[in-house]
Amino acid sequence: MPEITLPDGSRRRFDHPVTVGEVAAAIGPGLAKAALAGRVDGRLVDLSHRLDVDAGVSIVTDKDPEGIEVLRHSTAHLLANAVQELFPDAQVTIGPVIEDGFYYDFAYKRPFSTEDLAAIEQRMHQIAERDLPIRRRVLARDEAVRHFESIGERYKAEIIASIPGGEPISLYGQGEWEDLCRGPHVPSTGRLRAFKLTKVAGAYWRGDSRNEMLQRIYGTAWANPKQLQEYLTRLEEAEKRDHRRIGRELDLFHLQEEAPGAVFWHPKGWALFQQLISYMRERQTAAGYVEINTPEIMDRELWVQSGHVEKFGENMFMTRTPDERTFAIKPMNCPGHVQVFKQGLRSYRELPLRFAEFGKVHRYEPSGALHGLMRVRAFTQDDAHIFCTADQITEESVKVTELILGIYRDFGFEDVRIKFSDRPPKRVGSDEIWDKAEDALRQAAAAAGIETSLNPGEGAFYGPKLEFVLRDAIGRDWQCGTLQVDLNLPGRLGAAFVGEDGQKHIPVMLHRAMFGSLERFTGILIEHHAGKLPTWLSPVQAVVMGITERQAAYCLEIAERLKNQGLRVELDLRNEKVGFKIREHTLKRVPYLLVAGDREVEGRSLAVRTRHGKDLGAIGIDPLAAALVEEVASRGRIILEDRVSQRPSA
């Protein structure tokens, strides 16, 4: 009879076979009530899973990430059940869990409407209230195919037919409804209490544009109504912060079909973009990097040699010239940096050698994946490659980590998580080399004093990496910076240096990016700050405006003076009421609105308002200019408001 080992090491012996649910009940009624699924020797299973031999068992609740996934998976089935109750002719295809929710693809004779979505969600709640037990049964493959063909579910029959013969096929049912599924699921529909359908979109069967178009219904599900409401509130806030909308309002950039996935930068957006580059250039130079530039188009054979064509070829743009040569538009900068390293005889005395480049790269992304600045085909990387010896990996990695975290702090990101991504299935190099690279990166992370979580199988095809994940103002995570240890590409591309022993050695190459994609980082910044960028980053830092035409000459003089001190200043002399102009520039999120009337002209001052509506009163030109220049130089501190608040009252 089974002996069950629990996570705390304690053991419980049963004199008869038991289910995972019965194990939970034996531990306590509270756990039994909270249990959603279980893990048996590491495998996620239903509570109905039967145990008749010794095993290690842990109970999964909605406090566990796996528990939330089980909830979402079961809610996807709830959605499919509701659709087929309301629309019996609809066929179900696939319904996986995704980040923060789930979706299900349906084949139906007409598009689902907004009204349909509301009716489907209402029916889902009704099915949940029925508290139907969820059951599992297993069929042989051929029997399962015949079953789904008999009820007209040809998509399910096609999925099963592609599964290797002899593999058991599991079906999950609730009431009279049943679907193909690997599971596991919650024990009954009554456990599904907090969900919401969010949208419907088109999707091709099996993701192939040559196949028929299906309808994909998206939804979200959470452990309780409070978590659901918090998520919906975050969605509303994210909509307000959408960088595409703010980009239009602030006249920063646009995208159009003639250049899918490529950005048309407008003057103000380009000013912001160049500010990011200037900042990064300054930080890199101080950290010992030298900047280079490499061609955007190189012969395909170089990319074959590096391994990119084999591992990354489907994401590369190729072009053939009249002389029958095939060239690739670079998706990455690393092979070009190796070519620069190879020019001349390198010595160990030159190492570490830190090459940096603001390199324009192109990668093919499916049209459906493109999303404003966040997912593009043409983007600029703040890329760098450090050529060093094996003994220098730890020291250089610590420096990179400290630099990345310091830069994020300058941009207002204090909450940063770091993931350790190890070898992916598609990779170059031997397991022995990968063992060395992964060990080196682990030692470097330990030396830097940072905690990492494992992100299995997500390393680059040439080496393991650390991924730096930023959490923004509304709790969303963005993976930006990376640090990769590469013991493969330098050797594949013929890089070498002369060591202290007089012999040739292959250098280690550390790949490093901090923003990642400058386009994407710009989008993240816009959304993080809801368009109200810090003064040093704002495309327009101040607007000078007069109340009447009488102040025009004075406003022009002051605007030129501020511009000459390096500030990005606009002049507004339109024949409009000053209140109208203030509202307009406030909506454009300009940090400071500087207003001149007759009194300000006489006193050589300006009335200062902030974009938050705060009136700072009249400030003399010299102290105003000095405070603004200092605020921009400080990269984040609020200087002008603080100075005003510290002034003695009259």
- Please give the positions annotated as active site: 334, 363, 381, 383, 385, 465, 511
Which residue type is seen at 533? Answer: L
Which is nearest to 71 in space by CA: 60, 59, 62, 80? 62
Extended beta strands in 422-501, E state = 453-454, 465-471, 477-486, 497-498
Is 252 in a helix, a strand, or coil? coil
Which is nearest to 521 in space by CA: 402, 372, 356, 398? 372
Q: Which long-range contacts (CB under 8 A, 24 or more apart) does 284-292 make?
A: 284/356, 284/384, 287/354, 287/399, 287/403, 288/354, 289/354, 289/355, 289/356, 289/384, 290/353, 290/354, 290/355, 290/356, 291/355, 291/356, 291/357, 291/358, 292/337, 292/340, 292/355, 292/356, 292/357
The label of the residue with tokens 């978590």 reads 227
**Terminal Cα-to-Cα distance of the chain (whole angstroms):** 87
Which residue type is seen at 73? Answer: H
Distances, alpha carbon 241 to alpha carbons 84, 218, 245, 381, in Å: 37, 21, 8, 24
Looking at the chain, the number of H-run helices and the number of E-run strands are 21, 35
The label of the residue with tokens 């309002």 reads 249
Radius of gyration for the chain, computed over Cα atoms and rounded to the nearest angstrom = 30
Pairing status of strand 569-572 against strand 542-546 = parallel
The β-bridge partners of 171 are: 137, 180
Distance CA 646, CA 350 (A): 52
- Decide: 404 and 514 in contact? Cβ < 8 Å: yes
Q: Which helix (H) or strand (E) holds 102?
A: strand 101-107
What would the two tokens of residue 617 be?
């009163």
Q: How would DSSP label each residue in 523-534?
A: HHHHHHTTT---
What would the two tokens of residue 647 be?
């002034």
Extended beta strands in 181-337, E state = 194-204, 213-222, 253-254, 264-265, 290-291, 297-299, 317-320, 326-329
Distance CA 227, CA 213 (A): 33
- Decide: 142 and 106 in contact? Cβ < 8 Å: no
Is 318 in a helix, a strand, or coil? strand
For residue 539, cis peptide bond before it (omega within 30 degrees of 0): no
Distances, alpha carbon 23 to alpha carbons 28, 35, 531, in Å: 9, 10, 53
- The values of phi and psi at residue 46, to 5°, are -70, 160
- Decide: 294 and 359 in contact? Cβ < 8 Å: yes
Residue 321 sits at the vertex; the CA angle it makes with 316 and 322, to the nearest 5 degrees, is: 160
Pairing status of strand 477-486 against strand 508-517 = antiparallel
Which residue type is seen at 464? Answer: P
